Chains A and B, each alone.
Chain A
Amino acid sequence: MSAPTAAAKIDDERLKQVSWLRQALVRPELGAICGAILVFVFFLMVAGDSGMFAPQGIRNWTLVSAQFAILAAGACLLMIAGEFDLSVGSMIGFAGVVIAILSVQWGWPVWAAILSAFAVCLFIGAVNGFLVIKTGLPSFIVTLAFLYILRGLTIWLSVATTRQTIIGGVGQAAQGDWLAPIFGGIAFRGLFQWMGDQGWIATFTRGARIGEPVVEGIPALVFWALGLILFAHVLLTRTRFGNWIFASGGDAEAARKVGVPVSRVKILMFMFSAFCACVFATCQVMEFGSAAADRGLLKEFEAIICVVIGGALLTGGYGSVIGAALGALIFGVVQQGLFFANAESSLFRVFLGVILLMAVIMNTIIRRMITGER
């Protein structure tokens, strides 16, 4: 009975061979790759001679993209694990103010202030995750509560200790600190000076910094972005834990049945998201030399948009860190590109809404192709 049907089955399978196009479509990154190419071609045509692709312009959109990428790395893994973190933006403001108050007001060494901020953020991330797991409530609601709680605490802490919402003086406090340059430093100064001397990149032609290159090196922020993307990508695609992230977001019950520690995975991903927010906050505080209570507004949504443009499903279980990083690149290039192209900057939000909608529609179609549902 079984032999003839088995043979028929195989023939049947061969008839259903998928085309290479369909195979390529069923990769989460495809949309983001096409999007990135389109965006670059578009701005090369529209703003090619505006300095957008000169060293200074490149640094400009690279920095913005790197900022998005840091947050997107955390949001991506968390979304694949099936959860959101809407408290990321508020966490950025909170971490910054913690660093500033500890180092400037309390006189702690900056490294201790930074490490404390990380400890506090990881703790809040764990609380987020713990509440979501224990209450069974959607993470949307739990982290929305923390969006307000943390923002309120940030403003209150800042005003209560300094009567201001901006706390300066971190720059002076960080002089000579060993940890601060890891977040606010600039690498390859020598190389860039040498390239300037060779006349390969632009240098200042007047003023106090005459002879110095306009772009003095690569900010630490960019290395953090690359490092976090690499870490998240390897973790997701090359480790046992990565499989658990997919499984936890794909179907938590099914994953539990075969022994995946779903609660642990989700809580750790909330902590990773909080870690990324703290990296972002620390880099920003070190760059500006100050903390402000309103930093990080709307960053949680921007991070989620990057991840969705990168092909992840809002419902979890599917997505790619590389896609999310490309989403961040698209985001950064368009935001800065419109400025170089002299476009009305408010149009950026229109673009954002449109591309978000397109990405979500496309992801839904892709999901149907994978799961075969109609």
Chain B
Amino acid sequence: MSEAAPILEMRGIEKHFGPVVALAGVSFDIRPGECHCLLGDNGAGKSTFIKTMSGVHRPTRGEIFFEGRPLRFSSPRDAMEAGVATVFQDLAMIPLMSVTRNFWMGREPQKRLGPLKLFDRARAEAVVAEQMREMGINLRQADQAVGTLSGGERQTVAIARAVYFGAKVLILDEPTSALGVRQTSHVLATIDRARARGVGVVFITHNARHALAVGDRFTVLNRGRTLGTARKGEVAITELQDLMAGGGEMADMSALGEGAL
């Protein structure tokens, strides 16, 4: 599976903001149907890297290949149209609106009625009900407001929306960081389902436990550099945590209380 050609490949990416070097040579690739976890502590350069991947920032140096061809996204829209979707922490969802209206927002299906073009509500609701069922959410009714969903369910709706609208690469920015245990497992299950559909999932987190639960490969980012990529089964939680912390203190901490984190 992981031998397939990468959809998105980034080589030696550097990003400078004036004198600040946010990324100092990052290499990363994502293949269809895999979940590649990008781990890093706060300030490691995760946000800058995501924004470079999703077209918000242009890299100062380095190459990006999309489906084998060199490519430069000039805007997030560009990236979205190519099939790189980012689900940010604030989700771009409106609590007062129904799940259906949120799901289709900006891309509403239409039907003709004489000279009028109407919102095809029946189709919109049917698609949403099916997508939600596949992702493991049972909606009470089609016009249920997003505000009534839990944080994990909202993540799931956002992921389902991105996958339905043709995402080939799905970038999830800390989707589990604000969630409780049960909601987290729900989101991890959603990641698993998206992967099963052949989407390449980039899962950004600083929680090694969450990463190990679903990840196929793991890349650790520290001080703007990647410290290598490991496959599933090749690394243990403590190793990932040590790498994220840059080796030093965390190793000492975990020596004190094994597995406390």
Contacts and interface: CB of A to CB of B under 8 A. Distances in A.
Contacts, number: 101
Nearest to A319: B96
The secondary structure that dominates the A interface is helix
Interface residues of B, number: 35
A6 B189 contact: yes
B69 interface: no
B211 to A, nearest CB: 14
A337 interface: no
Contacts of B94: 246-247, 250-251, 254-255, 317
Contacts of B185: 1-2, 5
B136 interface: yes
Nearest to B148: A372
Interface stretch (B3-11, B116-124, B219-227): B116-124
Nearest to A252: B94
Interface string B127-143: 00000000010101100
B106 A258 contact: yes
Contacts of B77: 259
B136 A13 contact: no
Given A2-B188, A247-B105, A318 B96 contact: yes
A371 B95 contact: yes
B145 interface: yes
A246 B147 contact: no
A240 B97 contact: no
B104 interface: yes
B105 A5 contact: no
A18 interface: yes
A260 interface: yes
B186 A240 contact: no
B42 interface: no
Most buried by B among A240, A242, A255, A373: A240
Contacts of B117: 239-240
Interface string A224-268: 000000000010001110111011001101110111100000000
Contact of B182 (A5, A243, A250): A5
A163 interface: no
Nearest to A371: B147
Contact of A260 (B105, B119, B186, B188): B105
A260 B147 contact: no
B177 interface: no
Contacts of B67: none
A10 interface: yes
B164 to A, nearest CB: 13
Contacts of A59: none
B213 interface: yes
Nearest to A368: B147
Contacts of A242: 119
Given A13-B140, A254-B93, 5 more contacts: A246-B101, A247-B97, A258-B107, A259-B106, A371-B148
Considering the complex of A and B, which 5 residue pairs feature the smallest CB-CB distances, nearest first? A371-B147, A2-B189, A250-B94, A258-B106, A259-B106
Interface of B: 77, 90-97, 101, 104-108, 110, 116-119, 121, 136, 138, 140-141, 145, 147-148, 182, 185-186, 188-189, 192, 213
30 contacts: A2-B185, A5-B182, A9-B182, A9-B186, A10-B138, A26-B145, A234-B118, A238-B119, A238-B121, A239-B119, A240-B108, A240-B110, A240-B119, A242-B119, A244-B105, A244-B106, A246-B97, A246-B101, A250-B94, A254-B91, A254-B94, A255-B106, A259-B77, A313-B96, A317-B94, A370-B95, A370-B145, A371-B95, A371-B145, A371-B147
